[in-house]
Amino acid sequence: MSASIVAIAGANSKLATLIAKHLLENYPEIKIHGIARSPEKVDAVIRDSPNVEMFEASASDTSALRQGLKGAEVAICCYLGDNELMVEGQKTLINACIDEKVARYIASDWAFDYRGLELGDHPSKDPMIHINAYLEEKGKSGKIKAVHVLNGAFMEMVLGPFNPWFQPKVQRYQYWGTGDETMEMTTYADAAVFTAEIVADPSAVGFLNVLGDRITVKQIAEAYEKVYGEKLELERLGSLDDLKNKMTATFQEISEDPYEWVPMFYQFHMVSGKTWLKLLHASRYPSVKPKDVEAFFKTRSKESLSSFH
């Protein structure tokens, strides 16, 4: 088994693209097996690289997955989808990794520390709890070593259109609580570079944390004004208890529409204190220099904050 092969499942995702590009630019000795349901949708820079071999496979096709995993030392799961994909799809991929003797499995986490939550606390994070338990079970028998990358929230999601309360078009940020509660976040690019460095480090296993910023809503407003020269109006919508009641009622009423409730669950659990990262590990890797919110704003025009990237 060569330590110079990494398999990336869900290779056409944004995060997979960023991880693969960092590996190609910095680790020419590492070969990439890109696994995707539609390989033609993978970024051409990656797809056409001589260091990349593409494999077509659905998340349920064990035989095709095993072809893509063959010879890999580490597999990265970049799936993003419904609970069926995130639980059963990952279990199928993990089992295929075990069959192919892949040493490490990087789970599709990239989140805050969900280990402080119970099932049902944040329904969209339940799959991570299930997969962590599944990997622990498989790890006890030495079949595979789990890697979990935690980064708080993605900065682009908190300070972008996914967050309906951050409204740069009208210079407003709506919030619950006092505005002094801490939130943790990291850019996609920094999380990807950190993950790529983990791939290149055979000793990297377990929960590994990277963080761009610990910041409050009030501090975000200060950074916004410093960078863009305009004030961000802060509007309090209620207490954290009000938010909890609203998100619970919304989930019970329209659970089938995650865009209506997921942002509220994120907002609540980001500031609850239960999901904050403890030890940080970015200092292991000199190339990982996470941006804080002010640095992130400096890379974006004010207008671009209202658009998905």
The domain ranges of the chain are 5-152+185-211+275-290, 157-181+215-271
Q: Please, are residues 173 and 215 in contact by the beta-carbon 8 Å criterion?
A: no
| pLDDT tens, position by position, 59-112 | 999 999 999 999 999 999 999 999 999 999 999 999 999 999 999 999 999 999
- Mean pLDDT of the 183-209 span: 98
Q: What is the pLDDT of residue 306?
A: 87
- Mean pLDDT of the 289-299 span: 98
The residue among 234, 197, 190 whose CA lies nearest residue 212 is: 190
pTM of the model: 0.96
Distances, alpha carbon 300 to alpha carbons 171, 227, 248, in Å: 15, 10, 34
DSSP string, 84-136: IIIIIIHHHHHHHHHHTT-SEEE-S--BS-GGG--TTTSGGGHHHHHHHHHHH
- Tokens found for residue 225: 């004004």
- Select 5-152+185-211+275-290's CATH number: 3.40.50.720, 3.40.190.10, 1.20.1250.20, 3.30.60.50: 3.40.50.720
Q: What share of the chain is helix, strand, coil (3-state, %, to 5)?
A: 45, 20, 35
Sign of CA dihedral 130, 135, 138, 139: negative
Beta-strand ranges (E) seen in the chain are: 5-9, 31-36, 52-56, 74-77, 104-106, 145-150, 153-154, 166-167, 172-176, 183-186, 206-209, 213-215, 233-238
Instruction: Indicate the DSSP class of residue 299.
Output: T
The mean pLDDT of the chain is 96
Q: How confident is the model at residue 307 (pLDDT cuts 50, 70, 90)?
A: confident
- Angle CA 78–82–88, to nearest 5: 75
Q: Please, are residues 19 and 192 in contact by the beta-carbon 8 Å criterion?
A: yes
Q: State how far the Cα of 236 lies from the Cα of 238, in Å rounded to an integer.
A: 6
| pLDDT tens, position by position, 120-153 | 999 999 999 999 999 999 999 999 999 999 999 9
Lowest mean pLDDT among 1-5, 15-19, 110-114, 147-151: 1-5
Grouping H, G, I as helix, E, B as strand and the rest as coil, residue 155 is helix
Q: What is the pLDDT of residue 48?
A: 97
